[in-house]
Amino acid sequence: MTLYKSPLQSESELQWDQDSFPNQPYNCGPSSVEKVVNYYQDRKTYGIERTRDLGTKRNKTGTNTTEQKRMLDRRGIPSTVMSLSPDQVRVKLRTGHRPLVLWLKMSHIPNSIKGNSFNGNHAVTALANGTVNGEDGIWVNEPNQKRTEPAYKKNRFFADKYWIPASAAIGRWCIVPDKTKTIATRRPLKKKWVVTATVLTIRSGPSTATAKVGTLTKGTQFTSNKIETAGGKYMVDGEIHDNWLGFVRNTKQVWVAKAFVREV
């Protein structure tokens, strides 16, 4: 299973995708909900129209904040409809693990920035705070795109000078998950690996600060049972790493630095 550490990593959700049929022109809200929930649940897909059906049985119309909250809640992400100031939006996004559905009046955002010519009321997913070319703003999932078009971008950057007036023009409405996503740094992982370092130290825990309990030589193969993605930091070729692989040796759980092995 894929583990998304950031909503910037999870798949984009576009209202023109096939799983949004037959309400593709109206599904910016359900697409934005889909993006939020799939990130929280580490899903690659669920279904935009399937998500829409959890909020309303209407067809050929857009959805509202009440219905979008219902979609989030019924997919297991309790949420609240809020009117938020720009600073409050930034605070919600600050952890990097709490995307939210953000309503915007798109006439305030240039076509070249949003990637389309739609100027009406529209829902996007605000993913993270950011800065591009010295300008502060937010990264969003813009659902009004087609994957086949050259202008498609997985994540789009809306500078503050664009999204803030666009939000104010429509009441600053957002649908916000009640809790930040908890990132599990240690999880099961059963895979076979081969050692690429000349000698690889085996340790009692996922850190160079733990006891040395043995070594593996280059070419040795082993099967992991766990991975730790936020262990003790170590340097390899000038780059900092913190991923460790766990396996059982002589009935005991032990660990090696992942950067010194490769998958078989």
Q: Is residue 224 part of a domain?
A: yes
Domain range for 259 is 186-263
| Domain end (from 157, 177, 197) | 177
Q: Is residue 1 part of a domain?
A: no
- Rounded mean pLDDT of 1-6? 81
Q: Is residue 201 part of a domain?
A: yes
Same domain, 111 and 161: yes
- Rounded mean pLDDT of 47-63? 98
Residues 6 or more apart whose CB falls under 8 angstroms from that of 231 comprise 185, 205, 206, 207, 242, 243, 244, 255
**What is the model's pLDDT at position 219?**
98
- From the list 13, 148, 158, 10, the residue with the least C-alpha distance to 90 is 158
Same domain, 212 and 154: no
| Domain end (from 177, 208, 227) | 177
The total number of structural domains that make up the chain: 2
Same domain, 139 and 158: yes
- From the list 76, 70, 61, 68, the residue with the least C-alpha distance to 29 is 68
Q: Is residue 7 part of a domain?
A: no
Collapse the DSSP code of 11 into the 3-class scheme (helix H, G, I; strand E, B; otherwise coil) and give the result: coil
Same domain, 101 and 220: no
What does the mean pLDDT of the chain come to? 97
**What is the model's pLDDT at position 132?**
98
> Phi/psi class of residue 42: alpha, beta or left (left: φ > 0; alpha: ψ in -120 to 50)?
left
CATH of the domain at 200: 2.30.30.40
- Is 80 exceeded by the pLDDT of residue 9? yes
Same domain, 75 and 194: no
- Is 90 exceeded by the pLDDT of residue 2? no
Same domain, 195 and 150: no
**What is the model's pLDDT at position 8?**
97
CATH of the domain at 158: 3.90.70.10
Burial grade of 205 (CB within 10 A; 0-12, 13-18, 19 or more): middle
Same domain, 169 and 204: no
Same domain, 199 and 217: yes
Percentage of the chain with pLDDT > 70?
Answer: 100
Same domain, 66 and 140: yes
- Rounded mean pLDDT of 94-112? 97
- Quick one: CA dihedral 59, 61, 63, 64, positive or negative? negative
- Rounded mean pLDDT of 24-36? 98
pLDDT tens sequence across 179-229: 999 988 898 999 999 999 999 999 999 999 999 999 999 999 999 999 999
How sure is the predictor about 3, in pLDDT bands with cuts at 50, 70 and 90? confident
Q: Is residue 123 part of a domain?
A: yes
Integer Cα distance of 49 and 51 in angstroms? 5
Indicate the pTM of the whole model. Answer: 0.78
**What is the model's pLDDT at position 1?**
57
Neighbours of 189 (CB within 10 A): 18
Same domain, 148 and 57: yes
- Rounded mean pLDDT of 148-176? 98
Same domain, 159 and 226: no
- Is 60 exceeded by the pLDDT of residue 158? yes
Q: Is residue 166 part of a domain?
A: yes
Same domain, 191 and 167: no
| Domain end (from 142, 177, 212) | 177
- Quick one: CA dihedral 198, 201, 202, 206, positive or negative? negative
Token pair belonging to 1: 């299973």
